Structure 1
């Protein structure tokens, strides 16, 4: 029994020692305790400047997710690693950075040379269980970016669905990849469940049963196949969809989508080939764009153009697509209609085996 007035030492959790440990340590889900703001050091910077500093560190991008890889490269976890390290520096930085660390639930990045499917499955199960037991951290999660594998599917998907139900501020779900043979497994785990807080979702077509469990979704993006199965899920469960991307613009699919999402306001279509490495894009023929006229409330058609050809080729491609899009929008009763063109180019990443596209300029054409 300690003497009166003597301070009792408390054992503190040990921080992870390596990048690999940073993705697996139980200290990731330690309790968060707010502290008074500091007026010195790094946190004395205005929030805008602090965020500008953080923006220099690479983060997960939608462009990478749209490639539908099994996992994302380690470089895209740089920002999260920096934030995690800062959160273990002092109480003030922990109070400021831990909410940023847990803004995204991530289980899709390779951290070491072991089997990737074991890495991401183990990380997803562990983090989901930790968040389910820590409501103070669960409230920070706004985005979930995960890869679903066939490794330990029963325990992993049980933990994942349980976790999704206790994330009150989750608004975006991004499924980077899932095996095409998991359709029935996903149905068994997601059928009868509902996650109404999710508003935006990116997923492969084979994961359509996950979409059926998200009735509040307003934006749907397909990153694999033609998206036909997602149209069926939208019609069955998601009545408020107003934005779609990655769904093939062919007549039969567009007619079904018009019935499934009659209030559609915006649709994305890629106007020409921009494939490099594993980059996935959906090429739309100008003749197919006319099928978008079935959407009577469509306000915006967004097209992505890769700056890979000469100026004359790019201009010719754009002219045909823009003309077709303008004709399609004339059938809509919406106001302030426009065609938006994103000109994209390939970045030069640190990983030479990885390619990512970014928008270099945007043009708005009123209809």
Structure 2
């Protein structure tokens, strides 16, 4: 049955709150006097034993997601000690909204494929959003990262709630959303969820093709990466429509179509890093098309998903021409299924005749 007609909806939980939720919603049972003398400097030292995790990437996030849960549980245990530790550790506990495949929730591990598990993805995400926006709305200001896998269960309702809550996260800077709707899916759910909001605070976006409409609401985005393995030309054809309003974009790792290179230069002139795939046609066609990127004068790194010699020669020639002007290091990465290599074009050494030391040497009597 079409998702929009489902009678099942994600509702606010009416069950008894978990110990985790009770901590944030009530002071009852919390020691209000013990350890209050510990200064924040010492608490920072304690926190250093639980360092923050890396930001989400386009690669598998299972390990980091589970590590985040373990870190959060330890900080929760510390926050139960007294109100002073609760005050200090609470912002760090809710820096991330995280629901990913392979993550342990309760007594089970989240996994796609089964109807019951698909429902658990939705329930866990809504539960976390409820804690930071309803049960204790002051927590919303601490959320900096959203890293979620979205299942097909009640996807329209879940995305609507996520879109609403993201608008409340003033310090949110990185969003990763992976959604796979299969061959018959479309991005209508994402369009409805995000189109009435603007997220100027977001700087980094990692999304699957079904979430492209989110880009229309992120005018200040600097980095756009693609996650998932569901790329196809039908959706790539719509991608550039969502890039027209991202003039500050600096890093782009999405597969553009060949005829989009030229308008890309006009829409995103500040690009520093870009990835180029191999499905644009033959080698001569590819070289002809990417030569239109010559106007990108700020490039620092080019990732090639092709081993074509002509493409590699163009990339090296173009980066060297830019380096001649900005004197900065450049990187060419070759990323294919069977190899990952990188060529470094080191920054040229400074002209010894123009250094302070040489000037002092010249004016010596």
TM-score class, shorter-chain normalisation, is: 0.5 to 0.7
For residue 154 of structure 2, what is the aligned residue in structure 1?
152
For residue 316 of structure 2, what is the aligned residue in structure 1?
326
Aligned partners of 1:78 and 1:130: how far apart in 2? 18
Tell me the C-alpha RMSD between the 2 structures.
4.5
Aligned partners of 2:61 and 2:181: how far apart in 1? 11
Does 1:366 pair with 2:347? yes
CA 1:68–1:113: 2 relative to 1, 3 Å: closer
Counterpart of 1:231 (choices 227, 235, 240) is: 240
How far apart are residue 331 of structure 1 and its match? 5.3
CA 1:154–1:172: 2 relative to 1, 3 Å: same
Does 1:299 pair with 2:299? yes
SS in 1 for 2:265: helix
Which sits farther off after the overlay, 25-34 or 179-188? 25-34
CA 1:92–1:332: 2 relative to 1, 3 Å: same
Deviations 1:138-169 (A, max 9, x none): 11011111122221234322321221111111
Gaps of 5+ in 1: 1-12, 17-24, 272-281, 306-316, 345-358
SS in 1 for 2:241: helix
Aligned partners of 2:123 and 2:199: how far apart in 1? 23
Counterpart contact for 1:195–1:213, Cα < 8 Å? yes
Gaps of 5+ in 2: 1-15, 111-115, 349-365
For residue 178 of structure 2, what is the aligned residue in structure 1?
176
CA 1:258–1:338: 2 relative to 1, 3 Å: same
For residue 120 of structure 1, what is the aligned residue in structure 2?
121
How far apart are residue 179 of structure 1 and its match? 2.6
Counterpart of 2:50 (choices 47, 54, 64) is: 54
For residue 259 of structure 2, what is the aligned residue in structure 1?
252
How far apart are residue 137 of structure 1 and its match? 0.5
For residue 363 of structure 2, what is the aligned residue in structure 1?
none
Counting only pairs closer than 5 Å after superposition, residues 101-112 of structure 1 correspond to structure 2 as 101-109=93-101, 110-111=103-104, 112=108
For residue 8 of structure 1, what is the aligned residue in structure 2?
none
Counterpart of 2:25 (choices 25, 30, 33) is: 30
How far apart are residue 60 of structure 1 and its match? 6.2
Counterpart contact for 1:29–1:131, Cα < 8 Å? no
SS in 2 for 1:54: coil
Counterpart of 1:189 (choices 193, 198, 220) is: 193
Aligned partners of 2:266 and 2:223: how far apart in 1? 16
For residue 249 of structure 2, what is the aligned residue in structure 1?
241
CA 1:39–1:130: 2 relative to 1, 3 Å: closer
How far apart are residue 296 of structure 1 and its match? 2.5
How far apart are residue 364 of structure 1 and its match? 6.1
Which sits farther off after the overlay, 171-180 or 325-334? 325-334
Aligned partners of 2:131 and 2:92: how far apart in 1? 17
Larger Rg: 2
Counterpart contact for 1:31–1:136, Cα < 8 Å? no
Counterpart of 2:329 (choices 338, 341, 350) is: 338
Counterpart contact for 2:194–2:214, Cα < 8 Å? yes
> TM-score, normalising length from structure 1?
0.65
CA 1:78–1:166: 2 relative to 1, 3 Å: same
For residue 19 of structure 1, what is the aligned residue in structure 2?
none
For residue 7 of structure 1, what is the aligned residue in structure 2?
none
SS in 2 for 1:231: helix
CA 1:94–1:363: 2 relative to 1, 3 Å: farther
Counterpart contact for 1:147–1:178, Cα < 8 Å? no
How far apart are residue 270 of structure 1 and its match? 9.1
Paired residues, what number?
Answer: 303
CA 1:269–1:97: 2 relative to 1, 3 Å: farther
Aligned partners of 1:46 and 1:26: how far apart in 2? 24
How far apart are residue 198 of structure 1 and its match? 1.0
SS in 2 for 1:299: coil
Aligned partners of 1:45 and 1:154: how far apart in 2? 42
Aligned partners of 2:92 and 2:283: how far apart in 1? 43
Counterpart contact for 2:94–2:143, Cα < 8 Å? yes
Aligned partners of 1:189 and 1:231: how far apart in 2? 20
Counterpart contact for 1:146–1:175, Cα < 8 Å? yes
SS in 2 for 1:366: coil
